[in-house]
Amino acid sequence: MDNSLLIKHYPVELAYALALIGSDDCYSITPRWLLKNYPKIENVIKFLCNTPCEAGCSYCLQVLDVHKGLKRIFGFDSFRTYNGEPLQEKAARAVVEGKSLLAVFPTGGGKSITFQLPALMAGKAVHGLTVVISPLQSLMKD
């Protein structure tokens, strides 16, 4: 989607998204009535806030960087590696970049980080509600 198309076809949605981007309040979400009246708001916000640009702007380097997200959200300095291969990092980065992913790690191998980190980063970036359903709870009950 091109910015000129956003201006032409979705001016209200774009105005709201730009106002939201400037907000530091990570706890407010888009009101339901606004989504009902302007259903494309979510698409515009996702395009602006959660789609990495090719130039590597300062926003993308801060908000969409998996290493910074790992430190900010979980407090870890680095991802685990397996035989020197950064599989956890590659999986998390693929999700942030919007790629399809199938990750098979051993039990205790850090699969949870690969889906929780991108989901929490996306929720923060678009000021949206993030729900992560973890198989860990059912595994613990078995």
Per-residue pLDDT tens digits for 85-103: 888 999 999 988 888 888 8
| Same-domain pairing of 75 and 6 | no
Are 30 and 45 within 8 A, CB to CB?
yes
User: Higher-confidence residue: 70 or 108?
Assistant: 70
Which of 97, 99, 110, 24 has its CA nearest to residue 65?
97
Mean pLDDT of 68-86: 91
For every residue of 4-50, DSSP letters joined together read HHHHHH-HHHHHHHHHHHT---TT----HHHHHH-TTHHHHHHHHHH
Q: What size, in residues, is the chain?
A: 142
Question: Do 67 and 41 share a structural domain?
Answer: no
Contact (CB, 8 A) for 48 and 21:
yes
Q: Are residues 4 and 23 in the same domain?
A: yes
Decide which of 51, 71, 90 is a domain's last residue.
51
Tell me if the pTM is above 0.75.
no
Do 28 and 80 lie in one domain? The reply is no
99/111 same-domain check? yes
- Domains held by the chain: number: 2
Q: Residues 37, 98: one domain?
A: no
Do 65 and 121 belong to one domain? yes
- In terms of domains, do 20 and 76 share one? no
Distance CA 127, CA 123 (A): 6
pLDDT of residue 134: 66
Q: What is the pLDDT of residue 110?
A: 82
User: What domain range is 31 assigned to?
Assistant: 1-51
Which of the pair, 3 or 39, is modelled with greater confidence? 39
